[in-house]
Amino acid sequence: MNVQTAQLLIETSAPSAAKCVTVRCIGPWVVQSIAAMEAQLDAVRQLSQTEFLLAAAEVSALDTTGAWLLHRTITALERSGSKVTLEGLRPEFSTLLTLVAGANLAQKLIAPPTLSLLNKIGRRAWVALQNLLAMLAFVGECAMVLARALAHPRSIRWRPVLHNLQAAGFDALPIVGLLSFLMGVVIAYQGADQLQRFGANIFIVDLVSLSMLRELSPLMTAIIVAGRSGSAYAAQIGTMKVTEEIDALRTIGIGPIELLVLPKMLALIIALPLLTLYADITGVLGGMIMASSKLGVSFDVFLDRIGNAVSLSSFLTGIGKAPVFAAIISFVGCFQGFQVGGSADSVGRQTTVSVVQSIFLVILADALFSVVFNWLTL
């Protein structure tokens, strides 16, 4: 392609002296080469003369963008009261110009209306209320499906339950194990310094095992699972919604909640306590290794002490929180998946919301548990 930029030559030395301007249009007037012309044409519009002659014989190529630029200049000049003559344009280019001019007549771009602050606040509040109601409706729907399923356990789809058990539970073992091991190491490391100062080395056992079993491993496991599986639930259901698979399920007569939500919920309620137990073990192991290397508390002494340090109720309160966290994570993930609108963008947005919301709700629930357990002196 012969690359050459479009040009514009303004010649004021026209026959009738100061009144008429000749503007020569030269070169390819196509989208790639007319960027500079825009400013020049604006300059033409600023001229004080009232008669313009557009000599277009040297235009070597014209596309719709070029034609539009020409058309908009002519109309702008005419609107300001000037007389414009276009001459020499090749016939095929004239057809294009007519087409562009014709298309323009019927259309005018509609700008979206801008909203006042009060209006925006109102809309936001309304959307928030609708979301809350939708969430409540979803809770109700899930509860009904769950009740029906528990009444007829044979109707539960166990294959997806097993599949989810593997994906959300078994496959998460390495990351959950590693992170809680490191957490145990960190706690023992931080505690070692303080305890050594008082010569209370043996209490490292209480510190590590109580904090891991009661608080840290349930919470951390839940947060990891919310990031790993909760987001996956939202993305999977959201994508199915975009591709109308959810609607297809309904028309075939399979309840989407029954097929998609219930197995996930059941699987996670089974998997999360087991993962928490596993995190307890690896976390304490991490603390044990640190205790023996930094404080001289050997494995035997550590294991001897652990029975006195941790009561059964402490262990059970830790494990007992896990099913609640599991219900929160799976519920929020699935709910946000169903909230997805028609676009790919919305899948991403709802997935983010699902992770943020489930982590928030998990920590909130944990705080509530602490208050309640304190009250019950557990």
User: Interface residues with other proteins (CB under 8 A)?
Assistant: 1, 30-32, 34-35, 38, 63-65, 68-69, 72, 92, 95-96, 99-100, 103-104, 106-110, 112, 341-346
Query: Is 66 within 8 Å of 29 (Cβ atoms)?
Result: yes
CB of 46 to other proteins, least distance (A): 16
Tokens of 235: 């993305």
CB of 244 to other proteins, least distance (A): 11
CB of 339 to other proteins, least distance (A): 15
- Give every strand in the sheet of 7-11, ordered side by side: 7-11, 20-29, 51-62, 83-87
- Closer by beta carbon to other proteins, 1 or else 17: 1
- Closer by beta carbon to other proteins, 111 or else 151: 111
Q: Report the distance separating Cα 45 and Cα 10, nearest Å.
A: 12
- Closer by beta carbon to other proteins, 201 or else 346: 346
Strands (E), the chain: 7-11, 20-29, 51-62, 83-87
CB of 207 to other proteins, least distance (A): 50
- Closer by beta carbon to other proteins, 95 or else 194: 95
Tokens of 203: 């209490």
Query: Is 28 within 8 Å of 61 (Cβ atoms)?
Result: yes
Quickly tell me which residue has 């998460």 as its tokens. 172
Q: What single-letter DSSP state applies at residue 14?
A: B
Q: Report the distance separating Cα 330 and Cα 257, nearest Å.
A: 12
CB of 40 to other proteins, least distance (A): 12
- Closer by beta carbon to other proteins, 103 or else 144: 103
- Closer by beta carbon to other proteins, 296 or else 341: 341
Query: Residue 169 is which amino acid?
Result: G
CB of 230 to other proteins, least distance (A): 23
